[in-house]
Structure formats: structure tokens, C-alpha cells
Chain A
């Protein structure tokens, strides 16, 4: 069992470390880190809870598996009374009035949040450079980007500052930074975990998901956070997944695997990532796994469809940020002028680009030619996924077209940044569950299945672990 949650839990129970000591150590590591992953440290909030856990242990009371486990929260989630900035100037001093459902479930289980983590502002980015807190640095090489938008979260897990972190994934924002920092990251089926209390980027693809060093922890966290929520009508009830499914020996011939040939023939794919991916497909075949080549939509179509819809949705969602009810307000002689100054001065350039793009998409003329066409393409993408999953159990793909770029390169070329999401956005449009495993290629491998089939994904990820390690 490689679960870090279980290991820390055993250490706490055995008295090898006190909870106060554990939390202090992790907070200190975050404070002294040069990776720039922390927007706010939750020192007082965390220490108060840690003392209570120690008190329980001292009194001989049982503690639950999650009690006292330090974790990180991407700074787009609400935690009552704590700052939630979305890495923006607009909300730099905004305090959460309530707590997100997924986070509340972790609090109820006894886990202790210690940090609000750096990310791309409102989730708008693929590198955690579009942030007013300064770029996060990759856990393995500080000259490189952390990935994004949940970059701070993936780095914190990889560096061991948090036992796990909760990221948010709209078009790849958990999976890509997980790959860049060599940790596991799951985007569950859309609706499996409530989005209540997650600041909306693109509501039709936004997902809450865990990032951790082990598959076991991904499974445990998925079980804790899943479930129907009164506050999110797109959420649904799901079955718990037993740890047993990834503890037993898994045979390759239990699965039918597919991969998209055109993804691998994409000229933008880094040659080394391509070579390692193809080599792994051959390994699967030689292990008796049935592998099928599939054809899919062109990467440019996937990216464009995703961004048209995501921009339209974010323009609508961020219209509420006008300085009236919360955030920064610049007063002016006229209401319109006040709105415009407030928004112009407090959104980042990339966020403004997406809002303006979204308003174009939804404007008269474009709405028919672009928005409605993108909606039709999305339905066709979903239909094709439905068809594929009648023939295969799992679809494998690279996580990213390239290796992590150097800090400073990504935001110079927004189009290249959008196109680099080619392998993640399609699965988001389909609402499918998909996991980054840090194995196989330098930026990992993406394992996807049909809606609600997280168990299959976790099993196959375990199979990969068994044959690669």
C-alpha cells in the first residue's frame, strides 16, 4: 500500500509525530519554498484543528483516516472566513462567505486545509503564470512552469508540502500539471463531485478533483468527495469504489484499449513523448492486451470547440464581477464607466482576452456561426465517445503535446497555449472521467473511460504501475 494518507494516519496514531508538529512542518516548508505555490497560508485555521486532533489522540480516542491530514486547496474554492482570490487582484481581499461542498466533506472527515494554492487567474491558463501572485515553479525544475491551471496544487503534492491537494479541471487543469510534476491527478465524471463553492469558469465542464502521489489516495479522496448535492443540480449519486479493486493482481486481458491514431500523428507532439507512448502500446500488446487504433476529431477542432464554449461561459460567469457586491470597486461619474474601470484594472490580460472572446462568440452574427456550431460539434464529439466506449474500455492518450516550457514562454503566444491543450479538452467536452498517471512518458499518460467508470480507470492505472515499475 503506497497511500500517503494511510502512512501519515498510522504515524499520528502511533505517536511518531503529533498533529501540531506535522502541520507546523508543512506550513514551514510552504513558507520557505521557492516554488511560489501558496497564495495564503491557513496557519491559525489549521493549528486550531491540529490541537484538537492531538487532544483526541491523547485522550485515547480513535481518529478517522483523514483526521489531521494536511491538504491544499486551489485558490478558486471557498472556505468560510478565508480568502479566495482566484489568483486575481479583483478578489485579493475577498473572504469566502461559505464553504465549498467538496471541501466541507473533507473537513467533516477531519482533514486539515493548510494552504490556498496558486493557480491561473479564474482557471484561465495552462502554466500558472497568469496569476497576480507570480508564477509557480515546477517541482522538478524551477526554471520550468508548474503547468496549469492547478499548478500550485500539483507542485505542493510533488514536493510533499501537502499530502494531497484539491484542484479544479475545466479543460485539463488537473491532468496537465499532474503530468508536468509527475503525480496523479483525476478529473472525475462531470457531476460526480459537487461544484458548489468552486468559482465558475466554464460551468458545463468544470470539475473538482484530487491530486496525490498515489492511486490509493485518489480513490480514497474520490469516495469522500463524491455524491449528489442539493446545491449543485448537475451532481449525481455514485457508488463507492473499494480499495480492493486496486490491491489485487490485475490482468491485462481484462481490458480492451483504444488510442487515437491522429493524436499520435499530430506534428505538434514532442518526438520523445511520441516514442515513449508508442513503445508502451507495443508493451501492452506483448502483454496480451487487446489494443485498437481509433480515429477522432482533429486536435484544432477540439481546442477551438472547447475554447469557444469555455470563453462564452466564462464571459457570462464573470459578468457578475463588476465591483457592486464584492471585490474591488472603482467609483466613477457614471455606472457604466465605474464597471469598465473596475474590470479593466482588476482582470489580467489573459482573463480579459477570454471575456472579450466569449462576448464575441455570443454576439449577434457570431452566435449562429460560431457558438451554435461549436455546440453541435460538442454533441458530435460526445456521440463519438459513446460509440468508442461500446468497443473499448479505456482510451489512452498523451497528456500534453510537449514537455513543460520555461517560465516566461507560454503567455507570449496565447494561440500556442490553447493548442497545447489538444489532448485534454476533448474528454472535458465529453464530461468523461480521466486520470493522469505520472508513468510511461515524461509528462505521464492519460487514462479515460466512459462516464461513471472511474473504477475501470483506477484498475488500469494500477495495471500500468505493475508493468512499468
Chain B
């Protein structure tokens, strides 16, 4: 049975709503990135090309603290590994067209750029294949627009304001804290988080800036064994 107009409308409006909410997150990324020393163009390039929020925040957070290129790269890339997992989960749902045939390689390579937290959540929430595809594409495109627009506005605002006095650097820990709860629902998640935070703080005085973030990933081992 094909989805009704009402069902399709529900999916489209939920996806668009999420898109506008994410635009606000992008504003704070733009502000935070500029407060860490990125130019407006660099903040925009990150949102356009990298297009995965937590990694972008992480890279600019390490850069702002004075970390090296490669430590900033390492932490941000580790955070991007979950997009690989999402990709595996979404392939069966999104890589085929309405006729049941696999999409051409080019279309799949374009779709891959949009494999992130939000599209995964919206797509996997729909069990009907056509609605799942609608959820993926509407979320992907609305998010891509609002994420880049929000970054531009935030970065422009950040470049003319006194970012330190206005506390824009505090946007980083607040943003990470807001992203955390989804990962703390299980005992394993809580163990991994606690170990990660403790290891990072304990190592900071002894290793180059940004390295403590990389080593904190050992929290995963404590989490997985608990």
C-alpha cells in the first residue's frame, strides 16, 4: 500500500522542522568557529564540505585551544566514524529508487554526503520504504540549506562582536553537553563518557594540546567491558 498524502505531509513537515532547529545550532557553530580563529569563509567551508556538526565543533575547539592540525584532525575524524555506521544502516533504506532498482553510483555518492545524525534518525523512524526515502531527502536538503545559512550568519555576527566578553567560547562545552544525553542512556555509554572525561583532564598537563582528546577514546574500552 502506498503512503497517503497525510502521511507524506507529516514526514515532510517533521523533516523541515528539524531543519530549522538545526539552523540555530549552525548559528552557534559559526559564532564558536570565529571565536576560535577561523575566518568567515573557513567556517562556511567547514559546514559546506565537512557537513557533520560534532566533528566541526571538535576540530575548531582543538584549534582554538592551540592544538596542532593533526590532533584537531584526529579527534574530529574519530567523531565522524559514526557516519560510517549510519551509512551501513541507511544503505538498505535509501540507496534504491521507487522502482526497487539501485540508484546510479553518482546519486549514491551525492546521498552519502548527507549521511549524518539527523537524517539517520528521521529515516530509520519510518518503516514504510517510500516514507523513509522522503524523510531522508527532505531532512538532508533542508538541513544542508539551514546548516550553511546558519553558519554564515553566525560567523558574520561573530566576526564583528567581542567573542570573549560575550562568552562565545562557552558555546563549545554547552554544545557538546547538549549532544551527550543520547549517548548516556546505557550503562556502557555512561562508563565510556566518564572515563573519557577523566582521562582527558588527567592527561592535559602532560601531553600536547588536543592529544588528550584522542587518548580519551580509550573510554570506549572501559565502556564496552562494563
Q: Does B associate with A?
A: no
